[in-house]
């Protein structure tokens, strides 16, 4: 891996040689859209090609588990896609290999995007390196039958994180089921640092200094709350090692009573019996008072020989009309102001999925993007956080010891990297 990272640093200082082809061919990567959305993607490509006769778009769909490694290999092999939907952005942002969208996109185009998503997962060291695409805003699914069995009011879901965990404890004690289906792995939706941000402990680093503030009583209280929840089996013991969709399965199988999730697309996995038990509700608030959101983004490598055209195509893919059409096909949300304000998201819900998605849409103005700290070396720091937090969850060390070790290791790493 060190050799690969060295090559990335070399690539960041190189400019691609312009190609002399009469026709520009853009390679466009998506993640796991495949057959289900082929007509949508290909129709969008056809429309763009007709409006731009000198441009052809080659669509490549990549599985989610492979995209980061394939993107890295393409960069090192000097054959990057021109426009790509990728995960694990912090891994790439620190090497200055992506086009700065604050520079490449006009103020008029930027003004069409929701600010919290423009300054979202692609934001690094004062600039944005990604075009927001479709997004998810977290809401809560709960099993009203398990609520009733635990002596809780099935018509009153939790309003706060504290209430959610307290209800989860009662559910665990009275039914033997887990209270909350929640994953704590760093590669997934609610890594340990997100628990701190959700409850208003942010930033994690002292501004303009090379040290962290994580070893703080407020951070300890938040971590201790989740350590207790884990040890009391309010959340499943597999939460630390969970893989994709595990938390959905725990909920659908009736093993857990509550599931924070982004919208209604999981209803496709509900059978008729479970659909009668599952109820959508707004996401409980932490002390921050906002709800977590995730964002799929498009990036353009600096090594692309067609940067200007790739950015233009990225803006086309993510324009109001195309995002709204995508949202009509699947329970996702748009990242543009006009599309998010469309009456489609306020129509009377026809299905359970509609009801869930409208709850998510209503919280777009109250959402924050789950973007990690804006700091170089974050990937290694997150590994340290997960390792020490996992030991505390397992009872191998106290919250105090975990935070002290994280503080010491982070401050050591911060001596060699830039922090905001």
CA gap 267, 251 in Å, rounded:
12
Pairing of strands 24-31, 256-261: unpaired
pLDDT of residue 204 exceeding 60: yes
**Which pairing describes strands 123-124 and 278-282: parallel, antiparallel, or unpaired?**
unpaired
Min mean pLDDT across 92-106, 177-191, 227-241 is at 177-191
User: Quick one: pLDDT at residue 15?
Assistant: 53
377: left (phi over 0), alpha (psi -120 to 50) or beta: left
CB contact at 8 A, 404 and 414: no
The 8-class DSSP code of residue 289 comes to -
pLDDT at 81 over 90: yes
Residues 17-46 as b/e (b if ≥16 CB within 10 A, e otherwise) read eeeeeeebebbbbbbebeeebeebbeebbe
User: 10 Å Cβ neighbour count for 377?
Assistant: 16
Per-residue model confidence (pLDDT) at position 395: 96
- pLDDT for 246 equals 82
pTM attached to this predicted model:
0.89
Q: What is the largest CA-CA distance in the chain?
A: 72
Q: What is the mean pLDDT of the chain?
A: 91
For residue 263, pLDDT over 80 is answered with yes
Q: Sorting pLDDT into bands at 50, 70 and 90, what band is 187?
A: low
Give residue 3's pLDDT: 44
* DSSP 8-state symbol, 209: S
Query: In this predicted structure, what is the pLDDT of residue 360?
Result: 96
- pLDDT surpassing 50 at residue 111: yes
- Sole residue written with tokens 């905001």: 420
pLDDT at 269 over 60: yes
Burial 278-296 (b: 16+ CB within 10 A, else e): bbbbbbbbbebebbbbbbb
Percent of the chain with pLDDT over 90: 77
Least confident of 168-172, 197-201, 242-246, 253-257: 242-246
Looking at residue 379, its pLDDT comes to 84
- In whole angstroms, give the CA distance from residue 398 to residue 386: 14
Q: Average of pLDDT values for 236-245?
A: 75
For residue 8, what pLDDT is reported?
53
Mean pLDDT in residue range 352-364: 94
pLDDT of residue 128: 97
Structural domains of the chain ordered from first start: 2-136+294-357 (3.40.190.10), 137-293 (3.40.190.10)
287 Cβ neighbours under 8 A, 6+ residues apart: 199, 200
């Amino acid at each position: 891996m060190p050799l690969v990272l060295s090559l990335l640093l070399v690539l960041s200082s190189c400019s691609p040689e312009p190609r002399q082809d009469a026709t520009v061919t853009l390679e466009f990567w998506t993640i796991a859209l495949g057959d289900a959305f082929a007509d949508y993607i290909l129709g969008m490509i056809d429309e763009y090609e007709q409006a731009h006769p000198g441009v052809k778009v080659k669509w490549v769909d990549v599985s989610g588990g492979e995209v980061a490694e394939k993107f890295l290999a393409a960069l090192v092999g000097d054959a990057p896609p021109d426009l790509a939907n990728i995960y694990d952005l912090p891994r790439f942002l620190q090497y200055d290999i992506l086009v700065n969208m604050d520079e490449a996109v006009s103020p008029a185009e930027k003004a069409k995007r929701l600010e919290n998503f423009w300054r979202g997962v692609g934001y690094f060291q004062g600039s944005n390196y990604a075009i927001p695409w479709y997004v998810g805003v977290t809401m809560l699914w709960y099993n009203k039958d398990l609520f009733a069995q635990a002596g809780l009011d099935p018509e009153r879901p939790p309003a706060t994180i504290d209430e959610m965990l307290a209800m989860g404890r009662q559910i665990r004690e009275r039914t033997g089921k887990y209270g909350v289906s929640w994953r704590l792995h760093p590669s997934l939706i609610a890594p340990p640092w997100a628990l701190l941000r959700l409850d208003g402990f942010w930033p994690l680093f002292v501004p303009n200094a090379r040290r962290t503030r994580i070893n703080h009583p407020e951070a300890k209280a938040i971590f201790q709350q989740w350590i207790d929840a884990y040890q009391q089996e309010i959340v499943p013991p597999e939460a630390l090692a969970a893989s994709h969709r595990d938390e959905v399965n725990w909920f659908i199988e009736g093993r857990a009573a509550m599931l924070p999730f982004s919208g209604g697309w999981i209803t496709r996995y509900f059978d008729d019996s479970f659909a009668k038990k599952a109820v959508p509700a707004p996401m409980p608030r932490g002390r921050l008072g906002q709800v977590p959101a995730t964002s799929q983004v498009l990036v353009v490598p600096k090594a692309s020989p067609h940067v200007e055209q790739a950015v233009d195509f990225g803006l086309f893919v993510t324009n109001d009309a195309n995002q709204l059409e995508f949202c009509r096909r699947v329970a996702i949300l748009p990242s543009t102001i006009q599309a998010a304000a469309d009456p489609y998201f306020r129509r009377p819900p026809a299905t359970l999925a509609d009801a869930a998605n409208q709850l998510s849409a209503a919280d777009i103005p109250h959402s924050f993007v789950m973007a990690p700290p804006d700091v170089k070396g974050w990937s290694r720091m997150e590994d340290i956080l997960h390792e020490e937090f996992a030991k505390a969850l397992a009872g191998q060390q106290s919250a105090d010891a975990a935070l002290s070790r994280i503080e010491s290791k982070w401050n050591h790493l911060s001596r060699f990297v830039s922090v905001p």
